[in-house]
Amino acid sequence: MTCQAGCGHRTLKVGPGALWASWMRCVRLGQKHWAGPPLLSPPGFHQDSRSLGTLTLSASPLLWEQFLVGALDGEAGLRPELRSILPRWQRSRSLGAPSTGQPDEGPSVGGLALVERRARLEPVWDELGGMLEMLSAAPLPSGRVALLADREGVILAMRSSGGDFTHHADYVRLVEGACWDEASRGTNAIGTALAESSAVAVVGPAHYAQRHHGLVCYAAPVHDPFGALVAVLDVTGPAGAADPLVLVAVASVAHAAEARLREVAWARVAAAARGGLESRLSREDGPVLVVEPMGRVSRVNAAARALLGAQGPMSVESALGVSWRALTDAALRGVALETRGPAQGPAWRVHSEAVRTAEGGSALAVLVRLEPLGARAGHAARLEPVAGAESLDAAPSAAPTPASSSSWGMPPRPEAPARAAQERSGGAPRSPTRGPGPADTVAPPEPWAALKGDDPRHRATLREAERFAPTSLPVLLLSETGTGKELLARALHAASAVATGPFVAVNCGALSPALLESELFGHAPGAFTGARVGGAEGKLAAADGGTLFLDELVEMPPALQVLLLRVLEDGSYSRVGESRMRRTRFRLVGATCRDLDAAVRAGTFRSDLYFRLQGAVLRLPPLRERTDLPELAQALLARLAEEEGVATPGLSAAVLARLAAHRWPGNVRELKTVLRLALVRAGGAPVLEVEALPPILGSVPVPAVAQAEPAPTPLVTPPALSAPREPGMSAAARPLRELEARAIQEALALSGGNVAQAARHLGIARSTLYRMAERFGITLPSRG
């Protein structure tokens, strides 16, 4: 790795200590900051070379004493040494900070609250931790500590380089959970960096509290891509070892952390990006450019060529006067830019959008649409050639070059899982150069295609899911039963970075607490009566390297919730009847059709687990609220007919009216069951008529009120499937239950008592079949 700041310094070691030493050497040689990976310039985003804008606060003990007795009040404008420090001390005093400092001063956060605060930084926690390691690797005999505090000044993590200073840090409460905002501690690097949103060093007696006069602290804020301050990185050591260059180092690490946050945010945008560039270019009426890293205009459509007079290689900066960084920023934030071009030419509104350069590919580009502003819109801008850039008309960049993909640094996740899913489903891989056509705009990319329907809310949820799929964030699916949660969980898995790993589903509501614990965590040989002789690994182990889908999560007993939380925290768990800790790492997708918020309020679901799971919350609409019932029914019918090996019948208008009038408490699952029965009853007729529908839909006249009735509150288990068969049960629900019970019995009869086959035939999970059979009082062969 080379310091790109120009000193020619070179190092091959990349451990935290080596990085620190190399960096400090570069800084000492007079360079403003390190520009080599991994500290700055994350893939796709070059750090600009602006100064790091730091502030160093220092003062003598005498000055501090004078301030304390009020001798400095009113003097700030007169004495230069007071200009920096006095306003900060005055601010601390107005905030009521104690000037002496006590060992137990200030609020302290512990336990779950600390876990929750850390979870807010989840997407970059690992990176920030790595940066802390590096910051703490100081070659000082006395040592120093590196800290990560959140936006309220609470220390979330601490790393020590060892040495005596660790004890001192403990003494002044530089410990996890302690709050170091200015109101609690007065002027200090963490609190002041937060208050002023800039990098600060506070040396010795410049600290407002006397207890901290033996410290030198360097802190720099970390902002998210939208400018919000999310964390502060800090290095603190003994005042005698003050070194101004450490502040430059800390500020630079904070910049690297910000870049990482941008990368994470960009990855989400990228996950949602579509390919189909050729068709996009030809479909757009207005001028469109494709800009690849680091600003190379790789393609233009006819309108852009005519308008801009584009003939050869060019950069977006020279063509539009917009930098690559500004363009990617705008794409990330979904905002439009306005520009007059490089030479105050015509005004344009520049819309930018992340796209893939090849369908299903991981290399990204920005699609730029130009909207003319003002009267001179037709005027052509001049495009300057760019040295070393490829010709616009050279080989198309549909297949990304290694250089372009690595320069963006996006892991090749989106394409690999999609291809894997395609292979699993037996589909042919898509051609990267597939021509334009309606499929480019409407067909959802694999593996989302299994989720049928064109309802806007349904599609919006899938789009959201697509964005989250490549991340490692947990996902929570909150929707009514039968809406497709498991299907969605499988799609998330197939589009994830762990798609080649296992997908393991566990229904937490289908097992007793004891069985669920052993099912999830596994058990040691002879752990309990009935335990397997050789023990069992459990689903957590089975899901290692893949996705664990916990259905009906809300049914998990509180004791298991605690254990699950721990697994999610650090991947460690132990089998039932065993003390040895094991490790597993999986992506969690949880689901429930019950009101999880209510369960948290009622105290049956732990709020810390709830918070930990809230990476992404996705809601699939209930069928009665979907606007695409006819298309969905036809798509499901086609799939069922294919399974049965018969031609797909059409749906008569009368049938569609019946379907529209039904309230569908069992959602898509119920619709599937109804269509499956109707298909059999129709006996091969080319069009399904109402006679083929089961009684609940076919023989009951459409009630006039059915359509006007307001939709019931979502996220409650529909009574038809969940409530016991009490006398008070609605009349409409009974026949459905009977219908389902009959369907189960028929499927079992057809499969000769084979539960797995019967479940497949019904299109439900085996565990669901067990659950439903139990509810209906149907005896099944033992689970064996």
Ligand X SMILES: Nc1ncnc2c1ncn2[C@@H]1O[C@H](COP(=O)(O)OP(=O)(O)OP(=O)(O)O)[C@@H](O)[C@H]1O
**The Cα angle at residue 770 between residues 764 and 775, in degrees rounded to 5:** 110
Q: Residue 771 interacts with ligand X (CB under 6 A)? A: no
501: how many CB neighbours lie within 10 A of its CB? 17
The three-state (H, E, C) secondary structure of 329-376, written as one string: HHHHHCCCEEECCCCCCCEEEEEEEEEECCCCCCCEEEEEEEEEECHH
Q: How many positions of this chain bind ligand X (CB under 6 A)?
A: 19
Region near ligand X per CB under 6 A, out of 116-124, 404-412, 481-489, 529-537 = 481-489
Q: Of residues 34-63, which lie at the interface with ligand X (CB under 6 A)?
A: none
Q: Which is nearer to ligand X, 415 or 628 (CB)?
A: 628
Q: Of residues 62-121, which lie at the interface with ligand X (CB under 6 A)?
A: none
Q: φ and ψ at 738, to 5 degrees?
A: -65, -40
* Shortest separation between residue 413's beta carbon and ligand X, angstroms: 24
Q: Give the Å distances, CA to CA, from 634 to 437, 610, 650, 671.
A: 23, 38, 7, 11
Region near ligand X per CB under 6 A, out of 141-149, 215-223, 485-493, 599-607 = 485-493
CB 424 within 8 A of CB 449: no
* Shortest separation between residue 613's beta carbon and ligand X, angstroms: 17
Q: Residue 763 interacts with ligand X (CB under 6 A)? A: yes
Q: Residue 484 interacts with ligand X (CB under 6 A)? A: yes
Q: Of residues 447-476, which lie at the interface with ligand X (CB under 6 A)?
A: 451-453
Q: Which is nearer to ligand X, 130 or 630 (CB)?
A: 630
Residue with tokens 């299907």: 487
Binding-site member from 44, 482, 546, 649 for ligand X (CB under 6 A): 482
Q: Which is nearer to ligand X, 212 or 452 (CB)?
A: 452
* Shortest separation between residue 484's beta carbon and ligand X, angstroms: 3
* Shortest separation between residue 632's beta carbon and ligand X, angstroms: 7
* Shortest separation between residue 563's beta carbon and ligand X, angstroms: 23
Listing DSSP states for 1-62 in one string gives: -B-TTTT--B----SHHHHHHHHHHHHHTT-SS--STTTS--TT-PPP-----EEEE---HH
Binding-site member from 88, 173, 669, 766 for ligand X (CB under 6 A): 669
Burial category of 784 from C-beta neighbours within 10 Å (exposed 0-12, middle 13-18, buried 19 and up): exposed
The size of the chain, in residues, is 784
Closest CA to 667 of 703, 709, 633: 633
* Shortest separation between residue 533's beta carbon and ligand X, angstroms: 33
Q: Of residues 583-622, which lie at the interface with ligand X (CB under 6 A)?
A: 593
* Shortest separation between residue 457's beta carbon and ligand X, angstroms: 12
Nearest-angstrom CA–CA distance, 599 and 607: 9
CB 182 within 8 A of CB 194: yes
* Shortest separation between residue 654's beta carbon and ligand X, angstroms: 24
x/- mask, ligand X, residues 508-547, rule CB under 6 A, reads: ----------------------------------------
Binding-site member from 58, 357, 471, 483 for ligand X (CB under 6 A): 483
Binding-site member from 262, 587, 624, 672 for ligand X (CB under 6 A): 672
Q: Which is nearer to ligand X, 192 or 481 (CB)?
A: 481
* Shortest separation between residue 98's beta carbon and ligand X, angstroms: 55
Q: Which is nearer to ligand X, 292 or 551 (CB)?
A: 551
Region near ligand X per CB under 6 A, out of 14-22, 67-75, 256-264, 479-487 = 479-487
Strand order across the beta sheet in which 296-300 lies: 296-300, 288-292, 364-373, 347-356, 337-339
* Shortest separation between residue 297's beta carbon and ligand X, angstroms: 40
CB 479 within 8 A of CB 593: yes
Q: Give the Å distances, CA to CA, from 738 to 723, 745, 781.
A: 14, 10, 21
Q: Give the Å distances, CA to CA, from 56 to 28, 217, 639.
A: 17, 10, 69
Q: Residue 351 interacts with ligand X (CB under 6 A)? A: no
Q: Which is nearer to ligand X, 617 or 654 (CB)?
A: 617
Q: Give the Å distances, CA to CA, from 536 to 197, 532, 543, 568.
A: 53, 7, 14, 21
Q: Residue 486 interacts with ligand X (CB under 6 A)? A: yes
Nearest-angstrom CA–CA distance, 350 and 637: 45
Region near ligand X per CB under 6 A, out of 90-98, 213-221, 389-397, 665-673 = 665-673
Region near ligand X per CB under 6 A, out of 256-264, 384-392, 484-492, 640-648 = 484-492
Q: Which is nearer to ligand X, 484 or 535 (CB)?
A: 484
Token reading at 476: 């929570």
- Torsion-angle region of 572 (φ positive above 0: left; ψ -120 to 50: alpha; else: beta): beta
Nearest-angstrom CA–CA distance, 212 and 227: 31
Q: Residue 737 interacts with ligand X (CB under 6 A)? A: no
Region near ligand X per CB under 6 A, out of 67-75, 363-371, 477-485, 753-761 = 477-485
Nearest-angstrom CA–CA distance, 542 and 550: 13
Q: Residue 719 interacts with ligand X (CB under 6 A)? A: no
x/- mask, ligand X, residues 619-648, rule CB under 6 A, reads: -----------------x------------
* Shortest separation between residue 466's beta carbon and ligand X, angstroms: 15
Q: Which is nearer to ligand X, 401 or 648 (CB)?
A: 648
Q: Residue 668 interacts with ligand X (CB under 6 A)? A: yes
Binding-site member from 207, 356, 485, 587 for ligand X (CB under 6 A): 485
Dump strand ranges (E) for 75-192.
Answer: 145-150, 155-160
* Shortest separation between residue 419's beta carbon and ligand X, angstroms: 22
* Shortest separation between residue 56's beta carbon and ligand X, angstroms: 58
Distance of CA 360 to the CA centre of its chain: 20
* Shortest separation between residue 491's beta carbon and ligand X, angstroms: 10
Please count the CA atoms within 13 angstroms of the CA of 569 that sit on its side-chain side: 18
Alpha helices in 571-628 (DSSP H): 596-602, 607-613
* Shortest separation between residue 486's beta carbon and ligand X, angstroms: 3
Q: Give the Å distances, CA to CA, from 10 to 3, 21, 22, 412.
A: 6, 12, 8, 29
Q: Residue 551 interacts with ligand X (CB under 6 A)? A: yes
DSSP H or E segment with residue 379: none
Nearest-angstrom CA–CA distance, 580 and 566: 15
Token reading at 781: 């062969």
Burial category of 732 from C-beta neighbours within 10 Å (exposed 0-12, middle 13-18, buried 19 and up): middle
Region near ligand X per CB under 6 A, out of 76-84, 356-364, 575-583, 667-675 = 667-675
Q: Which is nearer to ligand X, 194 or 636 (CB)?
A: 636
Q: Give Cβ neighbours of residue 446 (< 8 Å, ≥ 6 apart).
A: 418, 421, 422, 425, 427, 494
Q: Which is nearer to ligand X, 67 or 549 (CB)?
A: 549
* Shortest separation between residue 334's beta carbon and ligand X, angstroms: 27
Residues that bind ligand X (CB under 6 A): 451-453, 479, 481-487, 551, 593, 636, 668-669, 672, 763, 768
